[in-house]
Amino acid sequence: GLAEGVRITSLSVPSVALEGDEVRLRCDYEESTEGGSRLYSLKWYKDGQEFYRYVPGAAADLLAQENPCDIFTEHGVYGVNLACYMSNTREVVLTGITRATSGDYKCEVIGDYPDFRKEDRTANLQVFGEHLVTPHVTGIQESYHAMELVALNCSSGNTQYTPEIHWTINGRPIHKGVGTDSYQQVLEHSSGPSGSSSVSELTFLAHNDLFRGGIIAVICEARLGQHHRQAGPYTLRTAEALWPQEYYYNAG
């Protein structure tokens, strides 16, 4: 078949981030093994404005220079703080990001002579200024009997965005929207004057084998992107066991 030239194989742009984060944008491409079609140039754009360019031919002429950042062409774009020394031919790094860093990021590759075939992909990044808040769990009773129904609600305290909510029981992840082994999690989103919020409901039966040392360890965790997590650990105790304070009280 005919050679397709240089093409983008994947584009990785985080969908959300927080102010002050370091963000990595990655654009993987492959060069054709047929017809000798190589990369002519790779460029990055924010909202249509170019801020990074790599041209292999020009790079080869500049390899002997002391400053490796001279290999790349940088353009001042509002909201983009490019970490040149941390960037390379497939990945660019933005540091100290702000709300102004939000936008559409496009990677463009152009093949070399004779076709100069061009391909691009775009993804959106949204930056928030509100830190991730530890979620709050309600519905916990003082104690539980074996096979009693446990019904808990976990809500996020964030208003600018709705983080993902994840549950674990005794270290076991519970997948949202799935009911297995008597576990079920339902996730709801709502919007109001103060912004958006998310609430996750977890229901399960308190089987005897779930109580370890008289307690069930439950964690509700809020997540934003790959790097931000806040967890609220809670313990559910069995009504059949006497706790140390009860022993102390009964001992008189």
* Residue 228 to residue 98: CA distance in whole angstroms: 16
CB 144 within 8 A of CB 237: yes
- Exposed / middle / buried, residue 2 (Cβ in 10 Å: 0-12, 13-18, 19+): exposed
> Would strands 118-128 and 49-54 be described as parallel, antiparallel, or unpaired?
unpaired
- pLDDT above 50: residue 2: no
Length of the chain: 252
- Does pLDDT of 14 surpass 80? yes
Q: Three-state DSSP class for 250?
A: helix
pLDDT tops 60 at residue 100: yes
Residue 109 has pLDDT above 70, yes or no: yes
Sheet holding 7-12, edge to edge: 7-12, 23-30, 91-94
Whether 1 has a pLDDT exceeding 50, the answer reads no
Task: Return the closest-CA partner of residue 110 out of 60, 41, 30, 11.
Answer: 41
Both tokens assigned to 99: 């709300």
Terminal alpha carbon distance of the chain: 89
pLDDT in tens, 131-155: 999 999 999 999 999 999 999 999 9
Give the pair of three-digit tokens for residue 28.
């993987």
* Run of H or E including 247: helix 244-250
pLDDT digits (tens, 9 = 90+) for 17-42: 999 999 999 999 988 766 557 888 89
SS (H, E, C) 87-108: CCCCEEEECCCCHHHCEEEEEE
Q: How many CA atoms lie within 13 A of 155 on its CB side?
A: 9
When pLDDT is averaged across residues 105-124 and rounded to a whole number, the result is: 90
Please tell me the distance from the alpha carbon of residue 249 to that of residue 142, in angstroms, as a whole number: 17
Q: Is 143 exposed, middle or buried (0-12, 13-18, 19+ CB in 10 A)?
A: middle
Position 217 scores a pLDDT of 96
- Average of per-residue pLDDT values in the chain: 83
Sheet with 103-111, side-by-side order of all strands: 16-18, 118-128, 103-111, 39-46, 49-54, 72-74
The pLDDT, as a whole number, for residue 73 is 62
**Which two structure tokens, joined as six digits, stand for 57?**
């031919």
**Residues of the chain with pLDDT > 70: what percent?**
76
> Is residue 70 pLDDT above 70, yes or no?
no
What per-residue confidence (pLDDT) applies to 18?
A: 96
Rounded to whole angstroms, the Cα distance separating 56 from 44 reads 15
The single residue listed with the structure tokens 């008189």 is 252
pLDDT value at position 180? 45
Look up the pTM and report it.
0.77
Q: What pLDDT, on a 0 to 100 scale, did the predictor assign at position 241?
A: 64
Tens-place pLDDT, residues 47-68: 999 999 888 876 556 555 555 5
Q: Tens of pLDDT along 221-248?
A: 999 988 899 998 999 999 876 555 454 5
